[in-house]
Structure 1
Amino acid sequence: MPSALQNVPLREQLRIDRLPLRLLTLFLGLTGFGAGIGLILRAGLGAAPWDVLSVAIAGRTGLSIGTITILTSFVVLLAWIPLRQQLGIGTLANALWVGVSMDLTLHLVPPVEGLLPGIALLVAGLALNAVADAVYIGAQLGPGPRDGLMTGIHHRWGLPVGPVRAVIEVGVLAIGWMLGGPVGLGTVVYALGIGPIVHLVLLWVTIPVRRGAAPVPATAALAD
């Protein structure tokens, strides 16, 4: 998926065309993304790899899951330094806002009881998360911290994106599981369902960049 701001200095990113619209869709996308994660967690059937880790750390520290998500995002951003990745407007917004949206959702939505209600909430959370992910990516304001790590490794050492992502997420999932994070049906459903839904929705929500309006040509990037 094209990103208008891959490795562009932050001060130059304010020159991108239709910035107000992009900022609006960025906010809506990140809000829905965090809310979708919150619904998936409330389903009680497992979580995505990074959220398995966040839940595990939150349980051991007493901090909220959203707070751990924010702190983890900034730890991941430290790894961008040797990879020579440039922060995007969307990168910083992602690091700060997704965790807040998660905590708000977890505060407003109580856990469900029973398998069928859990599955229904899981499907709703996955659909919201995937659509919001596409909206966020479609704003083309820079990759999220975790996907920037993946693409940064790819560009720095020429390693294929797919295996890099797989190694990172399997490693994170393994650590989260060993620390007591929730691995289950939701983990599998998320892994299989997120990609196809995002790909389909992206065709309708991406805001195109006019030739010459962005500082550099677009390159590949994904949301967190």
Structure 2
Amino acid sequence: MGLQVRGALGVDPWNVLHEGIARLTGMSFGSVIIAVSVVVLLLWIPLRQRPGIGTLGNATLVGIGADLTLRLIPPTDALAARIPMMLVGILITGVAAAIYIGAGLGPGPRDGLMTGLHARGFGSIRLIRTCIELAVLVTGYLLGGGLGVGTVLFALTIGPVIQLVLPWVAVDAVDVRRRAEQTETPA
């Protein structure tokens, strides 16, 4: 997220939505992020999604990571630097999402919406995530949020990146249990 902000070519669709809601309501940006997260978590209920430590970790570590990135990487006007920052930011976001979803410790609020819909047969990870991102992008834009080429690129590529990486990093809980049982010594 921090790299996308530094790339200054458009933030992710959820931040377009947050910005639009903040402009419309007068709420602070942070308050909007929290409120949207609560609403998204409520959408988990009919999908029978369960939060986990990864859900809490996502809610806290994404912000910390973004702040750290923004402190370490200065703004630049050089397009030759901003384009790679945007692209690497999108790639890192997709890989990181696949890793914590694949760990089975609970998806982040927005990722849980995607995995819940996927588990209920609404389509592939890439299709569902792309549809969610595009819906959020359009809604945020209509509410007054700003967008750029990075926003659209994020919306169109984050689902495919997650779907591509997820099989490489997913932990099979049954296999992990089986291996643990095999290594236990009889008492």
**Cα displacement (A) at 1:57:** 4.1
The aligned residue for residue 173 of structure 2 is: 209
2:147 counterpart residue number: 183
Q: Distance in 2 between matches of 1:133 and 1:125?
A: 12
Q: What count of residue pairs does the alignment treat as equivalent?
A: 176
Aligned in 2, Cα 1:98/1:173: closer, same or farther, shift over 3 Å?
A: same
Matching of residue 103 in structure 1 with residue 96 in structure 2: no
Name the CA distance, whole Å, in 1 between partners of 2:129 and 2:95: 21
Aligned counterparts of 1:133 and 1:94: Cα–Cα separation in 2: 9
Per the alignment, residue 136 of structure 1 pairs with 100
Report the CA distance shift for 1:155/1:132 in structure 2 as closer, same or farther (over 3 A).
closer
Rounded Cα–Cα distance in structure 1 between residues aligned with 2:165 and 2:119 = 27
Relative to its length, the structure with more helix (as a share) is: 2
Compared with structure 1, are the counterparts of its residues 69 and 108 closer, same or farther at alpha carbon in structure 2 (3 Å cutoff)? farther
Question: 1:132 deviation in Å?
Answer: 1.9
The TM-score, its normalising length taken from structure 1, stands at 0.62
* Equivalent in the alignment of 2:7: 43
SS at match of 1:79: helix
Residues 74 and 95, structure 1, Cα contact 8 Å, conserved in 2:
no
Question: Unmatched 5+ residue regions in structure 2?
Answer: 179-187
Q: Which residue of the partner structure matches residue 77 of structure 1?
A: 41
Alignment-derived partner of residue 93 in structure 1: 57
Deviations 1:184-212 (A, max 9, x none): 21123223443444444445433342448
Distance 1:204-1:163 versus aligned 2 partners, 3 A rule: closer
CA distance in 1, matches of 2:176, 2:138: 44
The 1:91–1:83 alpha-carbon spacing in structure 2 relative to 1, beyond 3 Å, is same
RMSD value, Cα: 3.2
Once the two structures are TM-superposed, the CA of residue 173 in structure 1 deviates from its matched residue by 0.9
Deviation at 1:119, TM superposition (A): 0.7
Q: Cα–Cα, structure 1 residues 133 and 152, in superposed 2: closer, same or farther, change >3 Å?
A: closer
1:114, distance to aligned residue in structure 2 (A): 3.5
d(CA) in 1 for partners of 2:132, 2:18? 15
Unaligned runs of 5+ in 1: 1-36, 215-224
